[in-house]
């Protein structure tokens, strides 16, 4: 049984003017997502600025998301770290709060070997009972989970049930799908590759686009899985310009800017991330407007 099928939102973490987490706004965003057909809340991932949250803030966001969502849709918590013991701690706490699964990013900076990745993920898996989604994003971590290693981990740890594939290498995803043979649920980690990943048997996407267009992201997946590949492809292609704009600066700079343009008032970013450059803001506004998103 998959943790979720469809489009899960890699939700932002709203901030107050003083830089503190804005839980009231987080609640509003969660309600907005649920009302607009998002299939899962992914809290405290890359888009949620997990790397600059304290452990206390990180866990408070996870606990809040579980309580606010109240079982209406699944909640997956980002609990990965480049320190195995820290990832175990965060994952065990998240499990206590009642998350439906955890998302574990590859250890960043350390650049573990494939054997090191196997040890890291299987060690964490032994300490918790909730389902685990591996998160492969070599552009940000400097570390790639090979298809062979992903399958090796899943065979050794039965609660490793999925992988968010954000390598951008569709050939690697194809090889993973062949080797896994249904052992791992594959989610696209790139909004511009939803349909290609679905065509390889993927279950959906963990999406940045869903922050600003949850129903449209949901419909890309739902149409495909309903057998309407033509509509799914049309929706994917229509979204390409706004997806490009959402990644013209490092995530989550543009998506937070976009939400603020929509009047969502999610606040600023924690350093070292800085506000979006003016020229890129104009590019983003244009793409959003052409995509049918109202900019205030």
- Which residues are annotated as catalytic? 135, 164
Closest by CA to 41, choosing from 75, 7, 86, 13, is 75
Q: Which two tokens stand for residue 36?
A: 């607009």
Query: Cis omega before residue 168 (within 30°)?
Result: no
Angstrom distances, CA of residue 63 to CA of 25, 67, 69, 76, 90: 15, 6, 10, 11, 11
Quick one: DSSP state of residue 277? P
CA distance 161 to 57: 27
Angstrom distances, CA of residue 193 to CA of 230, 245, 277: 15, 15, 26
Residues 6+ apart with CB under 8 A from 205: 7, 8, 187, 188, 189, 191, 194, 197, 217, 220, 221
Direct distance between the N- and C-terminal alpha carbons of the chain, in angstroms, rounded to an integer: 41
Q: Are 21 and 13 in contact (CB under 8 A)?
A: yes
CA distance 30 to 11: 8
Quick one: DSSP state of residue 106? P
């Amino acid at each position: 049984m998959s943790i979720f099928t469809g489009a899960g939102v890699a939700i932002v973490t709203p901030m107050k003017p003083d830089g503190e987490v804005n839980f009231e706004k987080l609640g509003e965003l969660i309600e907005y997502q649920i009302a607009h057909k998002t299939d899962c809340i992914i809290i405290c991932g890359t888009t949620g600025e997990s790397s600059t949250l304290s452990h206390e803030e990180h866990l408070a966001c996870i606990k809040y998301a579980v309580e606010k969502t109240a079982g209406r849709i699944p909640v997956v918590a980002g609990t990965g770290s480049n320190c195995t013991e820290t990832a175990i701690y965060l994952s065990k706490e998240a499990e206590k709060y009642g998350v439906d699964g955890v998302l574990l990013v590859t250890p960043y900076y350390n650049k573990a070997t494939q054997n090191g990745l196997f040890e890291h993920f299987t060690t964490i898996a032994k300490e918790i009972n909730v389902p685990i989604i591996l998160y492969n994003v070599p552009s940000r971590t400097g570390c790639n989970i090979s298809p062979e290693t992903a399958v090796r981990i899943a065979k050794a740890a039965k609660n490793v049930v999925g992988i968010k594939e954000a390598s951008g290498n569709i050939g690697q995803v194809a090889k993973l799908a062949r080797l896994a043979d249904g052992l791992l649920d594959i989610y696209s980690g790139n909004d511009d590759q939803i349909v290609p990943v679905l065509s390889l048997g993927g279950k959906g996407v963990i999406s940045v686009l869903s922050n600003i267009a949850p129903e449209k992201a949901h419909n890309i997946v739902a149409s495909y899985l309903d057998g309407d590949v033509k509509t799914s492809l049309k929706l994917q292609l229509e979204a390409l310009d706004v997806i490009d704009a959402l990644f013209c600066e490092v995530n989550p700079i543009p998506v937070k800017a976009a939400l603020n343009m929509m009047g969502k008032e999610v606040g600023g970013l924690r350093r070292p991330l800085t506000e979006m450059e003016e020229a890129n803001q104009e590019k983003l506004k244009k793409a959003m407007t052409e995509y049918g998103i109202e900019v205030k």
